[in-house]
Amino acid sequence: MRIIDQIREMRCWSEAGRRESNHIVLVPTMGFLHEGHLSLVREGRKRGDRLVVSVFVNPTQFALNEDYTAYPRDLERDRGLLEKEGVDVLFHPPVEKMFPKGSQTTVEVERLSPLLCGAFRLGHFRGVATVVLKLFNIVRPHVAIFGSKDYQQLQIIRRMVEDLNFDVEVVGSPIVRGKDGLAMSSRNAYLSQEERQAALSLSRSLRKAESLVRQGERESGRIIHAVRAEIEKGPLARVEYVSLCHPASLEKVEKIHDEALLALAVWIGKARLIDNTILKA
């Protein structure tokens, strides 16, 4: 596995690969890899013949009060994991090369970004869209793989790619969960044992909602109420939002007609956790 930290070198590697008609796959990550990331990597392996994984903790997607400095990092461990998966390139550019002084151009997916998580994390999706666009221009992948836990992010990237005519196939990969049901997240590292136990209410509440829908419930208000109640049973959880919305526009729905996204964000201690599921009527 080659480790590249120079933007120019990454670009040359990709251009050479394209000239040899390689199909290049990119899995963008912020590192501190877990099984969720590795499932993206394995999906990527299937989708092309050259696989690049970027590890870059993007400062522009953290608000000032957020956990940019605390965000867990372990490049050596990431490197070992990616090596084992047969990744071709680990791209790990330094922050000051990605966002040099004077850098001021941003990308905004205007209607999708302020919804759901965007209402609480100001500027977050602007930072995400901007860095992903930059990675697309540097790595020039044919395919890019994103996890579905970050469902809004996935929709925003899809929209950006379409709106800005990027020639990249965006693939969404299913949420990977621990045996206890907790969705994999690098931020799970923040949880104490007790908090991890409390965090299980997130996935439990989604299963609860699915069960209600199977029983015929269609009213968003009642489903959201039940989901909140499930989470708020425990004393350690603080709900940020629970929302039922259209799976593409992310606009709120009053009732489930065909299918709807149930998305939620919950604070457990200092970890802000998100989870979601598609409810099918």
Cβ nearer to a second copy, comparing 136 with 190: 136
246 is catalytic: no
Nearest to 10 by CA among 82, 92, 80: 92
Does 246 help bind a second copy (rule: CB under 8 A)?
no
Tokens at 170, concatenated: 């965006």
Distances in whole angstroms, Cα of residue 268 to Cα of each of 61, 69, 237: 21, 19, 5
Token representation of residue 77: 């461990």
132 binds a second copy (CB under 8 A): no
Query: Taking the complex as a whole, how short is the minimal distance between the CB of residue 191 and a second copy, in angstroms?
Result: 35
Output the smallest distance, CB 19 to a second copy, in A.
8
CB of 14 to a second copy, least distance (A): 10
- Show the site string, 96-115: x = touches a second copy by CB under 8 A, - = not: ------xxxxxxxxxxx---
> Binding string, 156-195, against a second copy, x = CB under 8 A?
---xx-xxxxxx----------------------------
The upper half-sphere exposure of residue 2, i.e. CA atoms within 13 Å in the direction of its Cβ, equals 12
- Tell me the closest approach of the beta carbon of residue 134 to a second copy, in angstroms: 5
Report the DSSP beta bridge partners of residue 146: 172
Binding residues for a second copy, total number by CB under 8 A: 27
Beta carbons of 31 and 75 less than 8 angstroms apart: yes
Computed on alpha carbons and rounded to an integer, the radius of gyration of the chain in Å comes to 19
Q: Is 20 in the site for a second copy (CB under 8 A)?
A: no
Q: At what angle are helices 7-19 and 124-139 packed, to 10 degrees?
A: 50
